[in-house]
């Protein structure tokens, strides 16, 4: 599994801590982590939580990432932004039980974390436990076990609803403020990682057109 980490501007100073914590857990699973930043609050490529949603959608729909870890001060804005786009099912995660049940019941492909609210002593431990439970075996297996069948059925129903409820991602991106989209994809590190891992020629072409 390829995991992408994205931080927005208000919490960019915590990127190294979050990345190292995530990578330590991912390494035990044989997963890789690509750090899309922001890396410091002074980065030239500034990202808002709305742009985190744009990047999450681009990465997941292009196959450049299988899972995205993102967030903001409370995690709420990043979650809402991510779920504004097709191909993204993002959960708001506060503690390890949230992480485990989101993975097993909802079988999503992104999480939004609170990197300011409640982020004090022991936060790196909470992050470690969240990531351990999030990636604890195969997702979508159901919890508790007597709810497996209806939960898996409901997930399939939700997937079908989302297919109807959203337009094509590129059409959406074309209709957004192009300065907003360009700002999201302008980071040099984003371009390096994205074009190396993108599996969608259509999305690669679109991103290049925005940059040019």
Q: How confident is the model over 22-43, as pLDDT tens digits?
A: 999 999 999 999 999 999 999 9
Residues linked to residue 91 through DSSP beta bridges, in sequence order: 111
Mean pLDDT of 59-74: 98
Domain of 10, in residue numbers: 2-211
CA 93 to chain centre: 12
Residue 184: the pLDDT is 97
Distance CA 48, CA 54 (A): 10
Residue 131: the pLDDT is 98
- What token pair was written down for 47? 């990202």
DSSP code of residue 145: G
Q: Are the beta carbons of 71 and 103 closer than 8 angstroms?
A: no
Mean pLDDT of 171-195: 96
| 136 backbone φψ class: left, alpha, beta (φ>0; ψ -120 to 50) | beta
Mean pLDDT of 160-183: 96
Q: Are the beta carbons of 181 and 173 closer than 8 angstroms?
A: yes
DSSP code of residue 106: I
Residue 211: the pLDDT is 95
Residue 140: the pLDDT is 95
Mean pLDDT of 131-148: 94
CATH of the domain at 75: 3.40.1400.10
Q: Is 201 exposed, middle or buried (0-12, 13-18, 19+ CB in 10 A)?
A: exposed
- What token pair was written down for 31? 């997963």
Residue 74: the pLDDT is 97
Mean pLDDT of 103-112: 98
How many domains does the chain fold into?
A: 1
Mean pLDDT of 79-102: 98
Residue 42: the pLDDT is 93
Residue 199: the pLDDT is 98
Mean pLDDT of 102-129: 96
Does residue 75 sit in helix, strand or coil?
A: coil
Mean pLDDT of 186-207: 97
Percent of the chain's residues with pLDDT above 90: 99
Q: Are the beta carbons of 25 and 168 closer than 8 angstroms?
A: no
Tell me the pLDDT of the chain averaged across its residues: 96
Mean pLDDT of 76-97: 98
Residue 110: the pLDDT is 98
Distance CA 45, CA 42 (A): 9
Report which of 54, 130, 55, 61 is spatially closest to residue 92, judged by C-alpha positions: 130
Residue 32: the pLDDT is 98
Q: What is the pTM of this model?
A: 0.96
**What stretch of H or E contains 70?**
strand 67-72
Residue 210: the pLDDT is 96
């Amino acid at each position: 599994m390829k995991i992408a980490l994205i931080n927005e501007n208000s919490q960019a100073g915590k990127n190294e801590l979050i990345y190292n914590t995530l990578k330590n857990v991912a390494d035990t699973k044989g997963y890789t982590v690509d750090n899309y930043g922001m890396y410091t609050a002074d980065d030239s490529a500034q990202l808002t939580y709305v742009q985190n949603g744009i990047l999450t959608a681009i990465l997941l729909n292009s196959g450049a990432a299988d899972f995205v870890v993102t967030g903001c001060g409370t995690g709420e804005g990043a979650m809402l932004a991510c779920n504004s786009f097709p191909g993204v099912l993002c959960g708001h995660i506060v503690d390890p039980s949230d992480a485990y049940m989101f993975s097993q019941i909802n079988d999503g492909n992104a999480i939004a974390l609170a990197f300011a609210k409640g982020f004090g002593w022991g936060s790196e431990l909470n992050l470690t436990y969240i990531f351990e439970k999030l990636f604890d075996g195969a997702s979508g297996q159901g919890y508790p076990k007597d709810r497996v069948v209806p939960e898996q059925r409901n997930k399939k129903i939700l997937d079908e609803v989302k297919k109807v409820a959203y337009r094509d991602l590129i059409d959406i991106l074309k209709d957004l403020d192009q300065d907003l989209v360009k700002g999201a994809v302008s980071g040099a590190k984003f371009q390096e990682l994205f074009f190396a891992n993108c599996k969608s020629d259509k999305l690669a072409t679109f991103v290049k057109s925005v940059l040019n």
